[in-house]
Amino acid sequence: MAGLDASAEPALRVQISREGHVPVVTLSGELDLTSVEEVRSIVAAALDGEPDRIVFDTSALRFMDSSGIALLLWAAERVPNVELRDPSLIVQRLIELTGLGATLRVLE
């Protein structure tokens, strides 16, 4: 059963870095209902210093469903400026379809 292969790549990778006081959350793989709570707890920890901006690098996301959009909106409720750096095509399309371009600033 290929789904149980322990050597397989994880469905989602999350990396937190900082540019000055700004947390940068780099996401790669698939952000969906199965991974969003883990990401939310990681992002919550990154927001402990109450920054006025957070950056999500979504360039390596291959898939994102509505739970990913909900995560970004959750972050936007806690931080005045949420930026999406170099969003993948799927993320760009979701932002366009949902009309969230004014809430989630896209940096290319």
Give the domain extent around 40. 11-107
pLDDT value, residue 108: 73
pLDDT one-digit tens code per residue, 42-80? 999 999 988 999 999 999 999 999 999 999 999 999 999
* Count of structural domains within the chain: 1
Within 8 A by CB and 6+ apart from 60, the residues are 26, 27, 28, 29, 88
What's the CATH code of the domain at 44? 3.30.750.24
Is 41 within a domain?
Answer: yes
pLDDT one-digit tens code per residue, 15-42? 999 999 999 999 999 999 999 999 999 9
pLDDT value, residue 66: 94
What are 105's strand-pairing partners? 83
Q: What is the reported pTM?
A: 0.87
Is 3 within a domain?
Answer: no
Q: Pick from 103, 93, 108, 48: which is nearest to 71 by CA? A: 103
Task: With cut-offs at 50, 70 and 90, classify the pLDDT of residue 13.
Answer: very high
Is 45 within a domain?
Answer: yes
Is 1 within a domain?
Answer: no
Is 71 within a domain?
Answer: yes
